[in-house]
Structure 1
């Protein structure tokens, strides 16, 4: 087995993950990793689907189920989107129509 970051063979056991998988640590670069990670990165297509579903005002649990992402990741993603949006809206006053004097 080798380190995914530096390809070193200097590996030691470093406990277990909360799922019970063996965790390893590279002695050279100190990276922690598991041998066969089951984590799948969120694809761009999934992100676009989440964006469309957020506009439909569905529940977060429903969006997470439909897009096949975790609720935890979805909450993080929504928070990031929220902080990217301007918090102050610029409103221009309407021009009042000139009324004809009687």
Structure 2
């Protein structure tokens, strides 16, 4: 395995991320990374979004919804903020 920044092979284990994937750190440049991270550009399936909407109506916590659906906490928070965004009142 090589560092994605400097291509050094001086890599050590450095804990894990929330999903349990192993984190690594480069001893040469200090970069922290996960080997084979999931593609973050994949859209959330419509069936998952529909399930999230139903779970929101059941007043489950965002953490619980994230665990059940497998979406990230940051994506879920952005989705909720956008979904329930109130239009600004017009000033007179």
Instruction: Return the TM-score normalized by structure 1.
Output: 0.46
Structure number, greater radius of gyration: 1
